[in-house]
Amino acid sequence: MSSKSITKISFVGIGNVFNAGLGFLFIAAVAKSVSVEDFGRYALITTLLVSLAKITDFGTNSLFVAYSITQNRNLIDKFFTIKLILFMVALPLSLPILYLLKLSEPSLLLLYIFGFIGYTVNFALFGLFQKLEQYHKLIALNTIPASVKGTVALLMFMGVAKPDLTGAFLIFSLSIVPSALLYFYLPDEFKRFKIDTKDLKKYFLRTMPAGTSQLMGEGWSAISNSIAKIAKDFTDVGVFYLADKISSAFSLVSLSIFTVLLPNNATRKRDKSKYDFLETGILSGGILILSVVAIILAKLLIPAFFGEEYLRSASIINFTIMASAITAIHTFMENYFYVENKTGALLYIALTKIGTLLLLSVVLIPIFALSGLAMAQLIAAVAAVLTTLGFMRVYNRKS
């Protein structure tokens, strides 16, 4: 692994950890200021907002970065056209889901729509700054909302503010909106675009396997929380979400690695260099070592800080952290398929993972309750890694 890659990954990683720390501070403040049931409602609607807004990405960011580098083409018109179409489809489709999960109060719906628009713009800007390899601006996309949430969290801990469920969701959904100001820092050629529907179906079909995989990956927390709600109640959602959110630190590690390695490996592909499998192995080993340390720290943190109401979160944290660590590994490994133009494999990997989770949830939740859901997550993550390795081995032999 080059020192340049390590520097970039470290910079993006530090930025992601800082932003996540501020975000978690806000989550902790909300958990301590509302009931466990309302915290469960907050958990479900926020994870649904982020994951359903991710439909507007649907693999277009990664495809845009990989194709524009490997094929040296300007795809900005296609990029924005697909984004606009996905937005017009995703927002109306997401609203009935809120109704079915009993999260359809008018105030929550209005805030959801504003947040959905904000996240759509944020995700689009992320892809553009990733293509430009302007990682300081990419990090700023999340630092802006994280700073808002972190500031409010401090006010909550000081007793100055004590928002209810609606107030907490207002802060979460509207804090993303100011990040849209970074649009003005894009180069002029990325600000000008026109609707381009030529060969749009072809490009959309190319994004579909990767988009489905990405949607399931980004929506993993929302899927798990929804399963907890359907199987139990909002209180169980709150308990599970806390453990899952602590574990999600590994998704930040994965995001940091993926963000840097995708353009790097796309450049290698363009220059006819080989994919660096040793780099992948070293990073995977580091993540697994971090997971062991994280389990020990989390089991001490949860009872001490959150109290007896969240003791069940501590009891499942070992499963959720290992699941997140293994998920992080297969997520950053997926840049191989984007670079090699083999994104069809991502659909099979995603279906294997979600199928394993749903099947095992049906079997394990009635027996082990929330621990069963956490176990199902872990086994599904292992299945995804094994499937990913299988596809990589097959494609590497062919090449």
Q: Give whole-number Cα distances, 328 to 80, 176, 348, in Å.
A: 28, 24, 18
pLDDT on residue 225: 86
| Alpha-carbon span 386 to 240, nearest angstrom | 26
Query: Measured in Å, how far apart are the chain's first and last C-alpha atoms?
Result: 22
Cα dihedral angle (29, 31, 55, 108), rounded to 10 degrees? -90
**Residue 229 · residue 101 · CB < 8 Å:** yes
Q: What would the DSSP string read from start to end of 6-27?
A: HHHHHHHHHHHHHHHHHHHHHH
**Side chain identity at 50, as an amino acid letter?**
V
pLDDT on residue 72: 61
Q: Which residues contact 121 (CB under 8 A, 6 or more apart)?
A: 179, 180, 183
Q: pTM of this prediction?
A: 0.81
Q: Which residues contact 368 (CB under 8 A, 6 or more apart)?
A: 375
* Number of domains present in the structure of the chain: 1
Percent of residues in the chain assigned helix, strand, coil, to nearest 5 = 85, 0, 15
pLDDT on residue 393: 86
What b/e readout covers 139-165, taking b as 16+ CB neighbours within 10 angstroms? Answer: bbbbbbbbbbbbbbbeebeeeebebeb
Residue with tokens 């798990």: 224
Cα torsion angle, 385, 390, 391, 395, sign: positive
Residues of the domain holding 35: 3-398
| Alpha-carbon span 52 to 61, nearest angstrom | 16
In this structure, what token pair is assigned to residue 138? 């990419």
**Residue 228 · residue 220 · CB < 8 Å:** no
In this structure, what token pair is assigned to residue 242? 């806390």
**Residue 332 · residue 287 · CB < 8 Å:** no
Q: What would the DSSP string read from start to end of 346-367?
A: HHHHHHHHHHHHHHHHHHHHHH
Residue with tokens 């490997």: 70
| Alpha-carbon span 280 to 257, nearest angstrom | 10
Query: How do the pLDDT tens digits run along the chain, 399 residues long?
Result: 555 656 666 676 677 778 888 988 999 999 989 999 999 999 999 999 999 999 888 877 777 776 776 666 677 788 888 889 999 999 999 999 999 988 989 999 999 999 999 999 999 998 888 888 788 898 899 999 999 999 999 999 998 988 999 999 999 999 999 999 999 998 888 887 788 777 778 777 777 776 777 777 777 788 888 888 888 789 999 999 888 888 876 656 555 555 555 566 556 556 566 666 676 677 777 778 878 888 888 888 888 888 778 888 888 989 998 998 888 887 777 777 776 777 778 888 889 999 999 999 999 999 998 899 999 999 999 999 999 989 988 887 776
